[in-house]
Amino acid sequence: MALIRLEDGTHVRPRADGQPPVRSAVCSSQAARGFLQSLGLTEPDPVDDVIRNIIPKYREHEVHVSMREYRADIRRMLGALATDSKAQRKKLIGALSEARFVMSVDAGDGSKRVTVPGEVYLATERLKELFAGARGVLLVDDS
């Protein structure tokens, strides 16, 4: 039985897809918000926004976003990381660690790609010199 009306007018079960985007009009009264909270739904925050709306784009093997969109996504990620909730920050870091969102450059051939954070080195001058010409070593694209 579907109980929650989404922004697009469709109805879903509570928690059927994580935190559904409940129609704004449904949340206008304190009683309605209390009911939604009793179902386990919470108000969205920047961390939930990034996990639900941004990270899925960066889970694919090949990421296809414009530089403008990428910059906006990074700003939203950084904003979410500024949360004062340790639990939310930990959840976000866990989700980001599995997403291919770090622009990187291959030290050997100069090719660029996006990768997960654990597969790339910070592009310090010392590491750039050390890995110069080493194919397959990825450095953060600092351009």
How does pLDDT run across 45-85, given as a tens digit for each residue? 899 889 989 999 999 888 999 999 999 999 999 999 999 99
CA 38 and chain centroid, separation: 27
Q: How far is CA 125 from the centre of its chain?
A: 29
Gap between the Cα atoms of 9 and 17, Å rounded: 16
Q: 139 pLDDT exceeds 90?
A: yes
113-124: average pLDDT: 95
Element of type H or E holding 71: helix 67-81
Spans of all domains in the chain: 4-38, 44-100, 101-143
- pTM > 0.75: yes or no: no
The C-alpha atoms of residue 29 and residue 23 are separated, in whole angstroms, by: 12
